[in-house]
Amino acid sequence: MNSNQQIVISQHGAPEVLELMAQTSREPKPGEVKVKVVAAGVAYADVMAQRGGYPIAPKPPFTPGYDFAGVVEQVGEGVSGFAKGDHVLGLNPVMGCYAQQLCISAQYLVPYPSHLPPEKVCSLVLNYLTAYCLLHKKTQMKAGQTLLVHSAAGGVGSALLQLAALAGIKVFGTASAGKLELVRKLGATPIDYQKADFVEEIREQCPLGVDVAVDPFGGDNLRRSYQSVRRGGQLVSYGFAGKHFGGLKPMLSGLAQLTWLRLLPDGRKVDFCALPAEAKKDPLWYRQALAELIDLLVEGKIDPIIGEVVPLQEASKAHTLIERGAVTGKVILQCA
């Protein structure tokens, strides 16, 4: 395949700025593998990047997308352990997965059994690996402990609920009214954030507060999540999405807020999790954790929720669904 169809963002704006473009397919460099992308994950980070609110995204023109599942087409010089036809999944720390083909460093690839549905496998990379990092790398949560999860019916949220249930952790999950039943079905105690104050709800059920709270929003929500945690507990932020597609100011404000919270002398621990940075910093952990998640999928112990599968050329539809909060679970682009 000499032509590589991919989604390109040439300017920031509404979902309509996502354009399907044909670009010349390149050869893998030494240490890289060329992958035929079958499924690419759509995340809120991609929507923020599209809107210009994701400061760590590449500058336009760029192709969004952190996670993918596909098939090896070509192996670059110096790469061992992979061959043409292997089914692989991975995370691209610099984005670029909304495409038919992707050249990526072999250190970010993990093989998976070919009988697994690519959309389910793709969901493991960003969503479940983030959840895994929050539960087992940043906090080391144990059975019997309590956890507060926001957007509990979303991609990362539903992954957190499933992994926490496996670990025997009691979860409280915030969601809108139409998604509360799913949160309950996944084993968590649902909280309707539109009608109830989640801090008060937590205090009613856990007078001292939860052991751990994880927060993707920042701002006032981060402060109130902190208030939900018991003394000696832990708060982990994993984003500063806010209510207006992020932005440099909310991100800097969020980092400053985390620094301030860390200085409070009340025994609560505060941390931050950014999965692309974790993968770059510790690729061995990344591969081992992803392999463990694949095993859990094979064993039927986890089951990623697929909210929508959209053709690559309709990526703007996928972003619109996420902007409107119209789906539960993961949105997937079908690339091949």
Instruction: Among 254, 273, 292, give the residue marking a domain's end.
Output: 273
Taking CB atoms within 8 Å and a gap of at least 24, the contacts of 307-311 are 307/331, 308/332, 309/119, 309/333, 309/334, 310/42, 310/334
Alpha helices in the chain (DSSP H): 44-51, 118-123, 129-132, 155-166, 180-185, 198-205, 219-227, 248-263, 275-281, 283-298, 315-323
Mark whether 198 and 81 lie in a shared domain. no
Mark whether 110 and 150 lie in a shared domain. no
Q: Domain of 170?
A: 142-273
175 found inside a domain: yes
Cβ atoms of 136 and 145 closer than 8 Å:
no
**152-201 pLDDT, tens digit each:** 999 999 999 999 999 999 999 999 999 999 999 999 999 999 999 999 99
Mark whether 114 and 216 lie in a shared domain. no
Mark whether 18 and 85 lie in a shared domain. yes
DSSP 187-236: T-EEEETTTS-HHHHHHHH-TT-EEEEEESS-HHHHHHHHHTEEEEEEEE
Q: Which portions of the chain are predicted below pLDDT 50?
A: none
DSSP-derived letter for residue 72 is E
Mark whether 109 and 197 lie in a shared domain. no
Mark whether 15 and 116 lie in a shared domain. yes
* pLDDT on residue 250: 76
Tokens of 188: 């968590």
β-strand partners of 90: 68, 109
Instruction: Among 223, 246, 273, give the residue marking a domain's end.
Output: 273
* pLDDT on residue 2: 75
At 305, which amino acid appears? I
Mark whether 291 and 269 lie in a shared domain. no
330 found inside a domain: yes
220 found inside a domain: yes
Phi-psi region of 200 (alpha: psi -120 to 50; beta: other; left: phi over 0): alpha
Mark whether 148 and 220 lie in a shared domain. yes
* pLDDT on residue 166: 97
Mark whether 223 and 263 lie in a shared domain. yes
35 found inside a domain: yes
* pLDDT on residue 254: 80
Mark whether 179 and 264 lie in a shared domain. yes
- Please state the length of the chain: 336
* pLDDT on residue 242: 66
133 found inside a domain: no
CA distance 31 to 80: 9
Mark whether 68 and 175 lie in a shared domain. no
β-strand partners of 149: 173, 214
76 found inside a domain: yes
Mark whether 110 and 206 lie in a shared domain. no
173 found inside a domain: yes
Instruction: Among 245, 273, 301, give the residue marking a domain's end.
Output: 273
Structural domains in the chain (count): 2
**295-322 pLDDT, tens digit each:** 999 999 999 999 999 999 999 999 999 9
3-state secondary structure of 130: helix
129 found inside a domain: no
Query: In Å, how far are 130, 216, 325 from 278, measured between CA atoms?
Result: 9, 16, 27
